[in-house]
Structure 1
């Protein structure tokens, strides 16, 4: 039992150190995840749910920006704030578009491996 617990702790430490070593803040990962959830809610026509997810994304994006400041994070934060404002006004479609722009900026702020994970359409299409 003790061995399994130590192994689990070691695995968690390895995961966290790998994330940091690759230059990807755990806050950035959470910001992207919540932004994706905000987009999904907006596409379903739920502006209140979009706002809730975008607020969580904003918290994590701002924390990531304190760890490793960058212009893409700044832009992502700006677009998240826009999505929140539009969502508060009940404009799900416009808020979703702002969240999509935020996602593009947040994704661009990560390491090259995160950027290559974007679909061709997000990168300008083929």
Structure 2
């Protein structure tokens, strides 16, 4: 039994050493894009509150992506997400949706 445990721990340790941490990390940029798309969909339906919820989630992931790897497109996406949130809180779904669409354009450009 001790030999099995030793082998199991050795295997786990070796796997952790060989696989880069990025393989286990969450893809924040992809998550930001997904939430931004959801914000746009709800904004087009006139649901400003739901747009804000998705835009805030997108912003969280965009900020994390920016910390992982700085990119001017992510920065612009963050700027537009902040604007979308501000407009959505004013219940202006149309203006918020336009900012979310701009954010999506920049976030997708950062992905390339």
- TM-score, normalised by the number of residues in structure 2: 0.78
**Uncovered stretches (5+) of structure 2, i.e. residues with no partner:** 1-18
Deviation at 1:35, TM superposition (A): 0.1
1:60 alignment partner in structure 2: 61
1:96 alignment partner in structure 2: 97
Deviation at 1:45, TM superposition (A): 0.4
> Could you say what secondary structure the match of 1:81 adopts?
helix
Between 1 and 2, higher relative CO (CA 8 Å, sep ≥ 6) is seen in 2
Q: Hey, what's the Cα distance between the residues in 2 that align with 1:55 and 1:65?
A: 15
**Uncovered stretches (5+) of structure 1, i.e. residues with no partner:** 1-12, 112-126
Tell me the matched-pair count. Answer: 93
Q: Hey, what's the Cα distance between the residues in 2 that align with 1:63 and 1:73?
A: 10
Once the two structures are superposed, the pairs formed by residues 28-47 of structure 1 within 5 Å of their partners are 28-47=29-48
> Could you say what secondary structure the match of 2:111 adopts?
coil
The structure that is helix-richer by fraction is 2
Consecutive aligned runs of 4 or more in structure 1 exceeding 6 Å deviation: none
- TM-score, normalised by the number of residues in structure 1: 0.69
